[in-house]
Amino acid sequence: MKIPIKQILPNPDQPRTIFDQAELEGLSQSIKENGVIQPIVVEKAADSYIIVDGERRWRASQMAGMDTIEAIVRPASNHNGTERLTHALVANIQRSAMGPIDEARAFEKLVHELGTAEAVAKKVGVSTTQIYTKLTLLEFPEQVQKLFNMGKLPLIGSIIFALKHLDVEQQVKVATRAAIRGWSGKTIMKLITMEAKHTGKSKAYIPIKRAKKEITFNGHFNALALINSKELPDHIRAAAIQTCQACSLYPEASPAICKECPLPDFLRRL
């Protein structure tokens, strides 16, 4: 059945947090030309509907200016949303459409609701090993979690557990350097091994504080903040900003990430 888009609400238990804007725009164009091929799944909730599966299609349909969307209406889930979360999680896993941190947070919530990882594994249809591996990702600092969620670090068990044994400062260092340089698993393991040799007493995690005067562009931290950019000619500054914007890590740019980038060192030598 067709449902007015304005009556549909996003899933409050949506486990997925990453919605690529370019992909949404492409999907929106496809919907304009072909419509929504696969109906979304919703639950009735008072005078509205809650999305269970198909939030990307719903968002893209809004972008396409659609007034209605084809949907399948299923019975309302239990009061705490466990069934809705489970359904959304399974749908995303089957399409490999979620970031690993999003999966981990969903698994964590389900373990709390269902009691054990084994119960979650049976409910969702994945191995307990996969659940425990994903849950381990939540033990990393936020900077490292974001890199895993963006797909900038490989989801290899040996790397995840080796990285876990470094202190937090080393974890951030290894992860940001590997993400910026696109290192393979073998190279990452070599760096982890080198860092492990220098591991002393574990250090408490202290969030990295940015300098009071940061150079930003369109609200983003910029690598120019790490150098005395006032001495650079305007055309070089402009080129540096464009280079930063083209970086795949630009949306998550921070001092911890940018200090591993070769651009500041290159600009200092000019």
Residue 142 tokens read as: 């936020």
Q: Of 3.40.50.300, 1.10.10.2830, 3.40.50.720, 3.40.50.80, which CATH number belongs to 100-197?
A: 1.10.10.2830
Residue 209 — pLDDT band, cuts 50, 70, 90?
Answer: very low
As assigned by CATH, the class of the 2-93 domain is: alpha beta
DSSP annotation of 133 reads: H
Cα–Cα distance, 166 to 163 (Å, whole number): 6
What's the longest Cα–Cα distance across the chain? 65
State mean pLDDT over 93-122: 81
Q: Which parts of the chain are beta strand (E)? A: 2-4, 8-9, 40-45, 48-53, 68-74, 216-217, 220-221
What's the pLDDT score for residue 230? 64
Question: What pLDDT does 215 receive?
Answer: 47
Q: What is the pLDDT of residue 127?
A: 87
pTM of model > 0.75: no
Cite the active site residues: 55
| Range from 32-36, 63-67, 98-102, 113-117 that averages highest in pLDDT | 63-67
pLDDT in tens, 217-237: 455 566 667 676 666 777 777
